[in-house]
């Protein structure tokens, strides 16, 4: 590892044909910046749920072992045979990980735009951010306001844009209020701040009293607990009050998506004037954007015919709205980085620490409130 940034460690995830996952740290040269490029010394990159799919995938981490050296540890774990089919396209290809992060520009290309970034702290969504250095195009870098640290700017994209993508999708598809599950998450708290600020009614679904308390403390008005005996009634009442007909669901498996549609249908029928044999004509939509519960989705279809359930992902959403509207969302994130879009981390780890089994166990369980930041240049 050269301190001049000419090369550095990069985290790699590799699924082998033999049925094994290998996570390691590779020493890679830093590409020299072209005229319109810069080299960023990465100082913060969050471990988001969306990174875990690439990092760990379906590997059984209860079988994980560590070998290698202290400086370059290697983690290996078995992959269940049934899960190997879905890995076909990435087998035996060592992949860098880390969707987003932030760091300081330490070297630049010859263009004025590149030179202007020298010494600046920038946020990036470029992939391969779990590494010490990244060479990036100027237009991939989002310069952060002076006084912003890399840790503060590390989560500028995935959670903030996902939360904004939810309210944008709500508006574009003609709904006036929304429902969110796993609502006490980092993302869920952010969504509450957005909705409070923008005056959008938001129904939060949580799984415990503690999670409800977190949301009430930040000013959430509608919080219902899916473990309560009165859940269906509580949710229906909140839907009647808010008129929410779109939900974003991070849970995925089980009955929750169908329960939300059923309560939306019951709420719509409470105000219906005439009988419709196919149920309410109000379109009810649930977008599943996560998979905290790996069981199948179970829909009992007690909600008429005007309904949809589907996958939702940030990148296809950004493609759909186009670069101009995407830039508006990013500008809002930067403007409200220390308020609406502030992220909180449980722990800041080095690349080596990110490969320690107790840390993998902690961030791998995707628990509400547990969020790790990797600082690849942590001393």
Pick the stretch among 161-169, 288-296, 323-331, 345-353 that binds a copy of itself (CB under 8 A).
Answer: 288-296
Residue 298, interface with a copy of itself (CB under 8 A)?
Answer: yes
Residue 92, interface with a copy of itself (CB under 8 A)?
Answer: no
Considering beta carbons, is residue 33 or 101 the nearer one to a copy of itself?
A: 101
> Measured on CA atoms in the order 359, 365, 369, 371, is the torsion positive or negative?
positive
Residue 278, interface with a copy of itself (CB under 8 A)?
Answer: yes
Contact 292, 251 (CB under 8 A): yes
Which of residues 26, 84, 196, 299 is near a copy of itself by CB under 8 A? 299
Considering beta carbons, is residue 168 or 265 the nearer one to a copy of itself?
A: 265
Task: Give the whole-angstrom CA distance, residue 147 versus residue 150.
Answer: 10
Q: Which 47-66 positions form the footprint of a copy of itself (CB under 8 A)?
A: 53-54
For the chain, first and last CA: distance in Å? Answer: 13
Residue 324, interface with a copy of itself (CB under 8 A)?
Answer: no
Contact 105, 39 (CB under 8 A): yes
Length of the chain: 379
Six token digits for residue 73 = 């540890």
Which of residues 269, 350, 356, 359 is near a copy of itself by CB under 8 A? 269
Which of residues 33, 160, 304, 376 is near a copy of itself by CB under 8 A? 304
Buried b (16+ CB within 10 A) or exposed e, 123-161: bbbbbbbbbbbbbbbbebbbbbeeebebbbbbbbbbbbb
CB of 280 to a copy of itself, least distance (A): 9
CB of 356 to a copy of itself, least distance (A): 24
CB of 350 to a copy of itself, least distance (A): 24
Torsional class of 62: left (φ above 0), alpha (ψ -120 to 50), beta (otherwise)? alpha
Contact 41, 377 (CB under 8 A): yes
Which parts of this chain interact with a copy of itself (CB under 8 A)? 53-54, 86, 88-90, 93, 95, 252-253, 258, 269, 272, 274-279, 281, 288-289, 291, 296-302, 304-313, 316
């Amino acid at each position: 590892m050269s301190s001049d940034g000419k090369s550095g460690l990069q985290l790699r995830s590799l699924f082998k044909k033999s049925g094994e996952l290998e996570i390691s740290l590779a020493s890679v040269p830093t590409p020299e910046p072209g005229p319109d490029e810069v080299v960023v010394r990465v100082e913060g990159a969050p471990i988001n749920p969306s990174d875990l799919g690439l990092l760990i995938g379906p590997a059984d981490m209860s079988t994980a072992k560590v070998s290698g050296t202290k400086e370059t540890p290697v983690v290996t774990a078995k992959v269940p045979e049934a899960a190997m089919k879905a890995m076909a396209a990435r087998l035996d290809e060592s992949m860098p990980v880390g969707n987003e992060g932030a760091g300081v520009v330490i070297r630049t290309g010859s263009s004025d735009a590149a030179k202007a970034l020298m010494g600046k702290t920038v946020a990036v969504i470029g992939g391969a951010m779990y590494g010490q250095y990244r060479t990036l195009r100027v237009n991939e870098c989002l310069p952060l306001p002076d006084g912003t640290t890399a840790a503060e700017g590390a989560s500028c994209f995935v959670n903030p844009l996902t939360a904004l993508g939810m309210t944008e999708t709500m508006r574009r598809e003609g709904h006036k209020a929304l429902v969110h599950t796993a609502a006490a998450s980092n993302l869920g708290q952010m969504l509450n701040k957005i909705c409070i600020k923008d005056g959008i009614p938001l129904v939060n679904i949580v799984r415990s009293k503690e999670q409800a308390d977190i949301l009430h403390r930040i000013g959430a008005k509608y919080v219902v607990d899916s473990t309560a005996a009165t859940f269906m009634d509580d949710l229906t009442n909140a839907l009647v009050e808010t008129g929410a007909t779109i939900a974003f669901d991070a849970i995925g498996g089980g009955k929750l998506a169908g329960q939300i549609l059923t309560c939306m249908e019951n709420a719509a029928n409470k105000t219906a004037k005439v009988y419709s044999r196919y149920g309410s004509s109000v379109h009810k939509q649930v977008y599943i954007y996560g998979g905290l519960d790996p069981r199948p989705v179970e829909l009992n279809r007690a909600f008429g015919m005007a309904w949809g359930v589907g996958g939702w992902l940030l990148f296809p959403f950004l493609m759909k709205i186009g670069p101009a509207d995407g830039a508006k969302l990013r500008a809002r994130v930067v403007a409200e980085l220390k308020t609406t879009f502030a992220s909180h981390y449980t722990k800041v780890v080095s690349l080596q620490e990110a490969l320690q089994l107790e840390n993998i166990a902690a961030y791998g369980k995707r628990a509400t409130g547990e969020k790790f930041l990797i600082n690849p240049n942590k001393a």
